[in-house]
Amino acid sequence: MGKGKLKRFAENQQFGHVFEPDYQSLIQKGFEWKGNWQSWFKQPGDITLELACGKGEYSLGLSARYPHRNFIGMDIKGARLWKGAKQVAEEQRGNVAFLRQRIHLIPHFLSPEDRVSDIWIVFPDPQPREGKEKKRLTSPAFLSRYRSFLPPEGKIHLKTDSRMLFEYTESVVAEQGLRVLERSENVYRDYGPDSELHIRTFYESMWLEMGRDIHYLCFEIGSDGL
């Protein structure tokens, strides 16, 4: 492992807004802020969760637009997550936190009391191989996990360059009878520059240079009883 990564990992451990619980501790003792995130943040307000956040570009972009809301970015890659965490520390933003852990464990970190109102899933790994459907972050298995803390009217935002993942998610939404709120096959055609959908990640800029269309789907999470 390079010295750069080791330095970033060490810095993450010093940031008060980065949480890296190990698996055994999480299972045995639970996560101390589950159900108490409203106490951790310096201001009361609904929480937006960014999954597979990478460098945290969307959490940072949204938190700048909506300073009275709170944001949590989650990813397993500590070296990537460090970039967003570093910016939060330098700018002293009190409305952004980061979780370093695997996303399938998300029910261990959040509960309905935390007031999560929506989830952004921005350019996740589409898991295109046959047999990998359960690993897609919009699969029925993951939607069920999100329902452990999201209210039925909670929103899921998917932004992706993967046509396969976009259409797969549409099929899941249709099968579960969920309400679609917004849909676009080409974000930069359908939304103006003031839209939050124009917040760009590092990878999105690459895809745009390659001429790929960016797709967007927003739907209500519903309940497991649907």
What are the tens digits of pLDDT across the range 123-176?
Answer: 999 999 988 899 999 999 999 999 999 999 999 999 999 999 999 999 999 999
| pLDDT < 50 regions, the chain | none
Under CATH, which architecture does the 3-11+44-220 domain have? 3-Layer(aba) Sandwich (3.40)
How much is the pLDDT for 61? 95
- Please report the pLDDT score of residue 142 as a whole number: 98
127: left (phi over 0), alpha (psi -120 to 50) or beta: left
- Using CA atoms, how far apart are residues 87 and 1, in angstroms rounded to an integer? 23
Res 104: pLDDT: 95
Q: Pick the catalytic residue from 22, 114, 125, 194.
A: 125
Q: Give the pLDDT confidence score for residue 79 in this predicted structure.
A: 87
In whole angstroms, how far apart are CA 224 and each of 82, 143, 157, 204?
A: 35, 9, 19, 32
Q: Which residues contact 102 (CB under 8 A, 6 or more apart)?
A: 76
Close Cβ partners of 47 (under 8 Å, ≥ 6 residues apart): 37, 41, 69, 70, 71, 72, 114, 115, 116, 117
Is 118 annotated in the active site? no
Q: pLDDT > 70: what percent of the chain?
A: 98
Question: pTM, whole model, 2 decimals?
Answer: 0.94
